[in-house]
């Protein structure tokens, strides 16, 4: 039988990205919005959207042939994932040592537990998991 602690840890890991994005106030969608909102007025015009799309396309089209191949898409995604991983690692590395102690690693999980455990009972129930994107039926 799986222990309660194992279930809690597995649930925390499974929802780490979603919980962190919600706690940060929008996560990747907030970043996409900021990227597209070129003049910073809090609104995205059709022109700003088109310019943002053109920029992302040209950045992904590494050989500038006007098409994005699967390899180019994989390379672009790997680069974005590496940048996100580096950013998350740097946030976790509280003492800037270049490596994570168990305490630094666990601090993120503990923060997620606090964020998701709405009623403070030490357990994350399905009702406490953010509803965004989850089938509600």
Structure-block tokens of residue 17: 């990205």
Report the 10 Å Cβ neighbour count for 112: 21
Residue 65 pLDDT greater than 80, yes or no: yes
- Exposed, middle or buried: residue 76 (CB in 10 Å: 0-12, 13-18, 19+)? middle
**Higher per-residue confidence, 71 vs 32:** 71
Give 45-72 as a 3 state SS string: CHHHHHHHHHHHHHHHCCCCCCCCCHHH
Inter-CA distances, 114 with 23, 66, 85, 129, Å: 11, 47, 22, 12
Instruction: Give the closest residue to 112 by CA, choosing from 7, 14, 31.
Output: 14
In this prediction, residues 89-94 reach a mean pLDDT of 92
Q: What is the pLDDT of residue 100?
A: 92
Across 101-126, average pLDDT: 87
pLDDT of 59 above 70: yes
Query: Would the pTM of this model clear 0.85, i.e. be above it?
Result: no
Q: Give 12-30 pLDDT, tens digit per residue.
A: 444 444 444 444 445 667 7
The residue length of the chain stands at 137
How many Cα atoms sit within 13 Å of 70 on the Cβ side? 0
CA distance 125 to 108: 19
């Amino acid at each position: 039988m799986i222990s309660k602690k194992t279930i809690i840890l597995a649930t925390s890991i499974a929802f780490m990205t979603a919980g962190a994005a919600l706690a940060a106030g929008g996560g990747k969608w907030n970043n996409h919005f900021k990227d597209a909102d070129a003049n910073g007025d809090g609104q995205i015009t059709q022109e700003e959207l088109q310019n943002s799309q053109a920029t992302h396309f040209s950045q992904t089209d590494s050989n500038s042939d006007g098409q994005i191949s699967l390899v180019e898409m994989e390379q672009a995604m790997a680069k974005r994932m590496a940048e996100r991983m580096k950013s998350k690692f740097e946030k976790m590395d509280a003492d800037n040592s270049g490596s994570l102690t168990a305490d630094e690693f666990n601090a993120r999980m503990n923060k997620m537990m606090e964020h998701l455990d709405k009623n403070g009972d030490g357990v994350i129930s399905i009702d406490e998991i953010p509803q965004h994107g989850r089938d509600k039926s």
